[in-house]
A and B are shown apart, each in its own frame.
Chain A
Amino acid sequence: MIIFIKAGGQLRAMIKPDIDHYTRKVETDGEKTIGEILKGISLDPSFVALIHVDGKMKDLSYKPSNGQTITLQPPVSGG
Chain B
Amino acid sequence: MPLSKSEIERYQRQLLVDSWDKERLKGARVLVVGVGGLGGISAAYLAAVGVGNLRLCDSDRVELSNLNRQILFAAEDIGRPKAALAAKRLSAQNPEIKIEVISDKLTETNAIELTSGCDLIIDGLDNHSDRLKLNNVSFDLNIPFIYGAINEWQGQLSFFNPPKTACLACLMPEELQDPKPTPVFGALPGVIGSLQATLALRYLMTGENPISNALLIFHADTMAFETVTFERRPGCGVCGKTIPSGPRR
User: Which residues of A pack against B, CB within 8 Å?
Assistant: 8-10, 46-47, 49-50, 52, 55-57, 73-79
Q: Which of A8, A47, A55 has the most CB of B within 10 A?
A: A8
With A49-B172, A50-B172, A57-B171 in contact, is A77–B154 under 8 Å at CB?
no
Give every chain B residue within 8 A of A78 (Cβ-Cβ).
37, 126-127, 149-151, 178, 182-184, 189
Complex: A46 Cα to B177 Cα, angstroms: 8
Q: Is B219 an interface residue (CB 8 A)?
A: yes
In contact, A10 and B38 (Cβ under 8 angstroms)? no
Q: How many residues of B contact A (CB 8 A)?
A: 41
The 6 closest A-B pairs by CB, nearest first: A78-B182, A75-B178, A75-B176, A79-B126, A57-B230, A76-B151
Chain B contacts for A73, CB-based, 8 A: 154, 217
Contacts of B124 in A (CB 8 A): 79
Asked if residues A50 and B171 are in contact (CB atoms below 8 Å), the reply is: yes
| B37: A residues at CB distance < 8 A | 78-79
* Distance, CA A61 to CA B125, complexed state (A): 31
- Cβ of A11 to closest chain B Cβ, rounded Å: 11
B153 at the interface (CB under 8 A from A): yes
Flag whether B156 is at the interface (Cβ < 8 A). yes
- B128 and chain A: residue at smallest CB distance: A77
26 contacting pairs across A/B (C-beta < 8 A): A8-B221, A9-B152, A9-B153, A46-B177, A47-B177, A49-B172, A50-B171, A56-B228, A56-B229, A57-B230, A57-B231, A73-B217, A74-B151, A75-B176, A76-B150, A76-B151, A76-B154, A76-B178, A77-B149, A77-B178, A78-B126, A78-B127, A78-B150, A79-B34, A79-B123, A79-B189
